[in-house]
């Protein structure tokens, strides 16, 4: 296939089984043909990364800085085009697609700076005349496996620190969204990365992902995706006794207290639960509302949700793009039925709708009269579905917020400093938002959660060094 986008292995583009990248807003629109790698190619990629490691891990800091800097500049200069590609292959709106692309550029910019800020410690020994140095070194070959919901930002926040700290990479993006991944690798190789430092193997999790996950030559594995796959890959990594980092699901609570600014609360919930079609691990899916404000809040929220326009991601008037594919949409529909069967009241939405084009469109769904033990309040749906739970007071709200297997993000709308402070201290989540949506985070500070949401070191910001480096303690007798 001459027009297929190929895999990148050991510094060369390599063809494979072509797979169609389909636009979820319009299934007649094929974004492109992308080569699926096979097991042998995945192993070639791992071998290439291993061979490139000795030299890249000793590369000059200015070289790393300049490559990351050039990548950032090019992503920013092409933000409209790349944002459009993102929206076309994943289905989030163009504003969101361009925003995510800018964020990817900012992440490369941040790690371009970090490359020049590597540091260690020099400390006195407890023994006279002995000096101790504590330094950080690259880990080796990093396997990077990413999901479909942030096709450029998640690859960016794994690739940039991996490269910055001197590791080499085997990168497998989600099968549904190879377009942004391919563009990123193309940009990085033209920015000057030596052959073998970054290898792209597109394709299926059960083939390419498995090969990476089971390889003894992969020294560290970073994964973002579903809870089941993440748990399996963590076990795989434990067997090999290698470093691993898993970012998985969420069932994020957003608490609305009676003293909240109603507009702020409704904004946070509309944004947090439904934007990006609810396909974010930080989406608010449990809306916990104090009973004295419950009916008024639900009335205003229902008006807002009803007014949301669902449609083609590239249409400027669209608020909510399509669901990513047929199987995700069918799963969302199942949960609509499950919620009703469990006794929750479907206030609005949930139905599949047709658009001007053949796409996977679903109206945002709002359930009320939910209890926290219903499946729609416990299982991650990963779609535009939110469950409203009424509680008596702040103490019950906090207890319900924390009563979950997950612990990624948690939010509260309140004007009370006392409750905001107490919630920040007592929420069992990795990220806590006060008067802000549960989704939407900065790129320069740690990202990650607790319980079944995350395993291993935090991602992003300076904390990324924890995963992408290993510590050495050296003693010298004077």
Mutual orientation of helices 61-77 and 94-114 as an angle, nearest 10°? Answer: 160
- Interaction between residue 239 and ligand ADP (CB under 6 A): no
In this structure, the strands spanning 365-368 and 345-348 are antiparallel
Asked if 215 touches ligand ADP (CB under 6 A), the answer is no
CA angle 158, 162, 164 (to 5 degrees): 120
| Candidates 153-161, 202-210, 392-400, 442-450; binding stretch for ligand ADP (CB under 6 A) | 202-210
Q: Which one from 164, 180, 281, 370 is the annotated catalytic residue?
A: 281
178 binds ligand ADP (CB under 6 A): no
80 SS3 class = helix
Nearer to ligand ADP, 86 or 260 (CB): 86
Helix (H) or strand (E) run with residue 286 in it: strand 284-290
Q: Which among 80-88, 132-140, 208-216, 362-370 is the span making contact with ligand ADP, rule CB under 6 A?
A: 208-216
Q: What's the min distance (Å) between Cβ of 214 and ligand ADP?
A: 8
The sign one gets for the Cα dihedral 205, 208, 209, 213 is: positive
Q: From CA 323, how far away is CA 470, in angstroms rounded?
A: 40
Stretch binding ligand ADP (CB under 6 A), from 207-215, 299-307, 335-343, 390-398 = 207-215
**278 belongs to the binding site for ligand ADP (CB under 6 A):** no
Residues 102, 177, 200, 213: which binds ligand ADP (CB under 6 A)? Answer: 213
- Give kind and range of the element (H or E) at residue 8: strand 7-9
- Please pick, among 74, 90, 96, 247, the residue that the annotation labels catalytic: 247
Helix (H) or strand (E) holding 131: strand 130-138
Q: By rule CB under 6 A, what count of residues binds ligand ADP?
A: 17
- The residue from 210, 282, 290, 332 that contacts ligand ADP (CB under 6 A) is 210
**Which residues, 6 or more positions from 154, have their beta carbon under 8 angstroms from its beta carbon?**
146, 147, 224
Which tokens hold the place of 249?
Answer: 């699901």
What Cα–Cα distance (Å) separates residue 469 from each residue in 63, 135, 156, 159, 372?
Answer: 18, 9, 17, 13, 40
Instruction: Specify whether the CB–CB gap between 362 and 351 falls below 8 A.
Output: yes
Among 215, 229, 271, 276, binds ligand ADP (CB under 6 A): 229
- Using the 8-state DSSP alphabet, how is residue 208 labeled? I
- Are the CB atoms for 126 and 116 separated by under 8 Å? no
Which residue's CB is nearer to ligand ADP, number 42 or number 347? 42
Least distance in angstroms from the C-beta of 174 to ligand ADP: 4
Tokens of 204: 């299926």
Q: Is position 383 an interface residue for ligand ADP (rule: CB under 6 A)?
A: no
Rounded Cα distance, 172 and 407, in Å: 26
Cα within 13 Å of Cα(85), Cβ side: 19
Token code pair at residue 131: 């000096």
By CB under 6 A, is residue 90 in contact with ligand ADP?
Answer: no
Tell which one of 135, 226, 292, 435 touches ligand ADP (CB under 6 A): 226
SS3 content of the chain, % helix, strand, coil (to 5): 40, 25, 35
Q: How far is the CB of 259 from ligand ADP (least distance, A)?
A: 37
Q: Which helix (H) or strand (E) holds 214?
A: helix 210-214
Of 131-170, binders to ligand ADP (CB under 6 A) are 145-148
Q: Pick the closer one to ligand ADP by CB: 41 or 210.
A: 210
**229 vs 276, beta carbon nearer ligand ADP:** 229
Minimum separation from the CB atom of position 234 to ligand ADP (A):
11
Residue 175 binds ligand ADP (CB under 6 A):
yes
Query: Nearest approach, Cβ of 149 to ligand ADP (angstroms)?
Result: 6
Q: Which is nearer to ligand ADP, 103 or 172 (CB)?
A: 172
Give the chain's length.
478
Indicate if 180 belongs to the active site. no
With binding defined as CB under 6 A, does residue 119 bind ligand ADP?
no
Closer CB to ligand ADP, residue 196 or residue 203? Answer: 203
Active site positions, annotated: 247, 281
* Residue ranges binding ligand ADP (CB under 6 A): 145-148, 172, 174-175, 204-206, 209-210, 213, 225-226, 229, 233
């Amino acid at each position: 296939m001459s027009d297929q986008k190929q895999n990148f292995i050991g510094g060369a583009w390599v063809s494979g089984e072509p797979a169609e990248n389909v636009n979820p807003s319009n299934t007649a629109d094929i974004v492109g043909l992308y080569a699926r790698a096979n097991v042998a190619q995945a192993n070639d990629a791992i071998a290439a990364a291993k061979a490139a490691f000795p030299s890249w891990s000793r590369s000059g800091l200015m070289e790393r800085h300049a490559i990351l800097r050039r990548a950032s500049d090019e992503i920013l200069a092409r933000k409209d085009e790349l944002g459009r590609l993102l929206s076309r292959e994943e289905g989030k709106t163009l504003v969101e697609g361009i925003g995510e692309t800018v964020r990817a550029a900012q992440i490369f910019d941040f790690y371009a700076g970090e490359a020049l800020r590597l540091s260690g410690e020099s400390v006195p020994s407890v023994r006279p005349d002995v000096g101790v140095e504590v330094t950080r070194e690259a880990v080796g070959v990093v396997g990077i496996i990413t999901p479909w919901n942030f096709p450029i930002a998640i690859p960016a926040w794994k690739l940039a620190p991996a490269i910055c700290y001197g590791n080499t990479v085997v990168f497998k993006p989600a099968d549904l969204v190879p377009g942004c991944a391919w563009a990123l690798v193309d940009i990085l190789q033209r920015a000057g990365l030596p052959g073998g430092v970054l290898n792209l193997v597109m394709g299926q999790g059960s083939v390419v992902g498995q090969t990476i996950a089971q390889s003894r030559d992969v020294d560290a594995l970073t994964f973002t995706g579903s809870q089941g796959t993440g748990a399996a890959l963590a076990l795989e990594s434990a067997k090999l006794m290698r470093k691993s980092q898993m970012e998985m699901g969420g069932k994020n609570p957003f608490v609305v207290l009676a003293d909240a600014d109603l507009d702020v609360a409704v904004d946070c919930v509309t944004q947090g639960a439904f934007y990006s079609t609810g396909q974010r691990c930080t989406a608010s899916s449990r809306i916990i509302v104090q009973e004295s404000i419950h009916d008024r809040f639900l009335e205003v929220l229902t008006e807002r949700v009803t007014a949301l326009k669902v449609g083609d991601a590239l249409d400027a008037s669209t608020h909510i793009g399509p669901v990513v594919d047929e199987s995700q949409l069918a799963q969302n529909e199942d949960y609509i039925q499950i919620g009703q069967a469990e006794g929750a009241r479907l206030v609005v939405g949930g139905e599949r709708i047709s658009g001007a084009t053949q796409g996977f469109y679903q109206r945002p769904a709002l359930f009320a009269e939910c209890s926290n033990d219903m499946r729609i309040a416990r299982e991650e749906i990963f779609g535009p579905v939110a469950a409203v739970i009424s509680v008596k007071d702040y103490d019950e709200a906090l207890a319900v917020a924390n009563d979950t297997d997950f612990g990624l993000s948690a939010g509260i709308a309140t004007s009370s400093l006392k409750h905001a402070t107490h919630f920040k201290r007592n929420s069992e989540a990795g990220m806590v938002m006060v008067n802000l949506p549960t989704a939407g985070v900065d790129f320069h500070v740690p990202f990650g959660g607790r319980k079944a949401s995350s395993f291993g070191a935090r991602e992003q910001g300076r904390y990324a060094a924890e995963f992408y480096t290993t510590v050495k303690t050296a003693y010298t007798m004077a």
